[in-house]
């Protein structure tokens, strides 16, 4: 698996693949196996006194065929929804990313060893195939990718009224409050931002720092972290992943070129930057104008805008002036400040005083809100989303409802009681 992914990326850290695409999938499967027997059982719910002595239950039922369109986080975001759909009793039709063909071949082989083709099938192709795939009459469709493509998927699925789970990303902010230690913030931010060279849908997309002096201190701390972890990168940077293809490299380079042309301060955090091997060094853009592409588009790469704000209220206003993000990262040891951020904003998910880790908490649903997506999966939430919670009412042999028929005047007192 790691060799296939590394070949698709040009280079990807073997250990990052084990963590991002190995550990996460195994943890998800372990969680499903541990809890599935309990989740499958019909769950008794109250039927209400008006229907007594009837009994009510919710019975999880498979939906049928679930489609999964995965992005170039090639194994994690293919196999976690696939495993969840299988756990819920469904068949799965998987469309992996066209940008990772070797990993797609790995998935073909892996899944063929485990499942008959009638239970799990894999569709291999590009954007045209993805459009046709989205238009199939699935019983549910899970898509992970950009907001722009998510809109197209939703439009293609609409004629069939296909239910959707959309995980769309967006611009996930990190809010660094005045009390949080700079060095620790830089270390945790570096882990979340430059893991997989920033090609993570919930990577911090920009940082709001309260106070200019703290912003400058954070910049220096980030530079130190990059040097400590990756060196100058001219030795090959074995622990630093490459950008997945030339088009994505050019897109990211365009963000920096535009920022420089507009007079922004752009700081490269390593000496190496090599288009030939798609090595894109970590870079900071300081206080970019809001109309730059790097501030309008999801970055999905190792560029990090760092912005100075005057107060926590200003940071909250900045976040709320934009689409609701897939992830939000408040950094503060002051519980009141964190609660203020949580009450005043809305995101798909939150990790407080760290990054990325809410994705790995199997009991937490993972999903977006607004432009960052709809629906959620992981754990019980995923099982429920990919099941039909069939409501069943069991009537008793004798019931007062047998009396609810004309002529009504004879049961007026009973009707009055039901209307209480």
- Known catalytic residues are 167, 201
Rounded Cα distance between 133 and 272, Å, is 40
Distances (CA, A) of 374 to 134, 296, 316, 325, 326: 16, 21, 23, 12, 10
| Distances, alpha carbon 339 to alpha carbons 81, 176, 239, 345, in Å | 31, 14, 36, 10
* Region of residue 53 (left: phi > 0; alpha: psi -120 to 50; beta: else): alpha
- The residues, ordered by sequence, that sit 6+ positions from 371 with a Cβ below 8 Å of its Cβ are 147, 168, 170, 323, 324
> Where on the phi/psi map is residue 412: left (φ > 0), alpha (ψ -120 to 50), or beta?
alpha
Backbone region of residue 215 per phi and psi (left: phi > 0; alpha: psi in -120 to 50; beta: other values):
alpha
Quote the DSSP letter at residue 204. -
The residues with which 121 forms a beta bridge, in sequence order, are 93
Query: Which two three-digit tokens encode residue 236?
Result: 């090959």
- How many helices (DSSP H) and strands (DSSP E) are in the chain? 15, 16
Tokens 């400040």 belong to which residue? 337
The DSSP bridge pattern shows strands 373-374 and 164-167 to be antiparallel
Q: How far is CA 20 from the centre of its chain?
A: 13
Residue with the two structure tokens 């009537």: 395
Q: Provide the CA 397 distance to its chain's centre, in angstroms.
A: 49
Alpha carbon 399 to chain centroid distance?
Answer: 49
Size of the chain in residues = 420
Q: What is the full DSSP assignment across 261-316?
A: HTT-EEEESSS--BGGGTB---EEEES--TTSHHHHS---SSEEEEEEESSHHHHH
């Amino acid at each position: 698996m790691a060799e296939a992914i590394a070949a698709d990326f040009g280079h990807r850290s073997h250990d990052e693949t084990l963590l991002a695409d190995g550990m996460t999938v195994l943890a998800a499967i372990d969680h499903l196996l541990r809890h599935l027997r309990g989740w499958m059982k019909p769950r008794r719910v109250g039927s209400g006194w008006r229907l007594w002595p009837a009994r009510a239950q919710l019975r999880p039922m498979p939906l049928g065929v679930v489609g999964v369109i995965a992005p170039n986080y090639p194994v994690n975001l293919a196999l976690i929804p696939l495993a969840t759909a299988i756990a819920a009793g469904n068949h799965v039709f998987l469309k992996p990313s066209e940008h990772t063909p070797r990993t797609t071949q790995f998935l073909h082989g892996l899944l063929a060893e485990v499942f008959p083709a009638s239970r799990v099938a894999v569709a291999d192709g590009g954007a045209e195939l993805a459009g046709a795939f989205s238009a199939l009459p699935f019983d549910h469709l899970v898509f992970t990718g950009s907001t722009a493509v998510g809109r197209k998927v939703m439009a293609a699925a609409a004629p069939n009224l296909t239910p959707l789970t959309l995980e769309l990303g967006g611009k996930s902010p990190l809010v660094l409050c005045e009390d949080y230690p700079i060095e620790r913030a830089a270390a945790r931010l570096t882990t979340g931002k430059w893991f997989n060279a920033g090609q993570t849908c919930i990577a911090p997309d920009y940082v709001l720092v309260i106070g200019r002096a703290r912003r400058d201190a954070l910049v220096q701390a980030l530079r130190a972290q990059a040097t400590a972890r990756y060196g100058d990168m001219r030795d090959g940077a074995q622990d630093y992943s490459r950008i997945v293809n030339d088009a994505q490299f050019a897109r990211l380079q365009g963000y920096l070129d535009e920022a420089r042309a507009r007079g922004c301060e752009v700081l490269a955090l390593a000496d190496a930057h090599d288009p030939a091997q798609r090595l894109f060094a970590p870079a900071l853009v300081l206080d970019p104008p809001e109309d730059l592409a790097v501030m309008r588009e999801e970055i999905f790469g190792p560029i990090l805008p760092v912005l100075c704000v005057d107060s926590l209220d200003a940071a909250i206003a900045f976040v709320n002036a934009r689409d609701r993000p897939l992830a939000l990262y408040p950094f503060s040891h002051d519980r009141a400040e964190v609660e203020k951020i949580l009450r005043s904003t809305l995101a798909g998910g939150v990790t407080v005083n760290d990054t990325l880790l809410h994705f790995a908490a199997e009991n937490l649903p993972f999903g977006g809100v607004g432009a960052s997506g709809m629906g959620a999966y992981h754990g019980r939430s995923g099982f429920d989303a990919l099941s039909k919670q069939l409501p069943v009412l069991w009537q008793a042999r004798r019931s007062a409802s047998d009396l609810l028929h004309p002529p009504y005047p004879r049961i007026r007192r009973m009707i009055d009681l039901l209307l209480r």
